[in-house]
Amino acid sequence: MTIADDIIALEKDALDRWCAGDPDAFLDLSADDVTYFDPFRETRLDGKAALASLYGELRGKIFAPRHEMIEPKVQVIGDAAVLTFRFVSWNGSEGDRVAWNCTEVYRRAPEGWRIVQTHWSFTGAGLAGGQ
């Protein structure tokens, strides 16, 4: 397995759990100094404690029984790796179909790869329903 394969597998597992209402896989993957952006927040979140608070509010509220990671790409730069992909979910809590762009920056740590930066945004299709 390559580094890219490892990181994509970690992310897919975390997304599977997220789409079942469980954010803990992402928390487990996050470094203490993680930063986080999404289109529902006006400001960046700084640190794992702040992210845990946000995810605590969302626990059990996000469900997407059908979801797909599209065209994942990992660029490895020394002890860092940048994962970019599109993510689409259907029949979830946000509507019939939601399309996202995601960037995750991972850093190699003694305990394994950890997310140090997350950025989610809607694609041009955004919240287009019924597709």
Which pLDDT score, from 0 to 100, does residue 94 have?
53
Which pLDDT score, from 0 to 100, does residue 95 have?
59
Query: Which string of DSSP letters, residue by residue, matches 87-107?
Result: EEEEEETTEEEEEEEEEEEEE
The string of pLDDT tens digits covering residues 30-45 is: 999 999 999 999 999 9
pLDDT band, very low/low/confident/very high, at 49 (cuts 50, 70, 90): very high
Residue for token pair 């986080």: 36
* Residue ranges covered by each domain of the chain: 3-122
The string of pLDDT tens digits covering residues 76-103 is: 999 999 999 999 998 755 557 889 999 9
Please indicate, yes or no, whether the overall pTM of this predicted structure exceeds 0.85: yes
pLDDT band, very low/low/confident/very high, at 129 (cuts 50, 70, 90): very low
pLDDT band, very low/low/confident/very high, at 131 (cuts 50, 70, 90): very low
CATH of 3-122, one of 3.40.50.720, 3.40.50.2300, 3.60.20.40, 3.10.450.50: 3.10.450.50
Residue for token pair 């203490």: 32
Which pLDDT score, from 0 to 100, does residue 58 have?
92
pLDDT band, very low/low/confident/very high, at 20 (cuts 50, 70, 90): very high
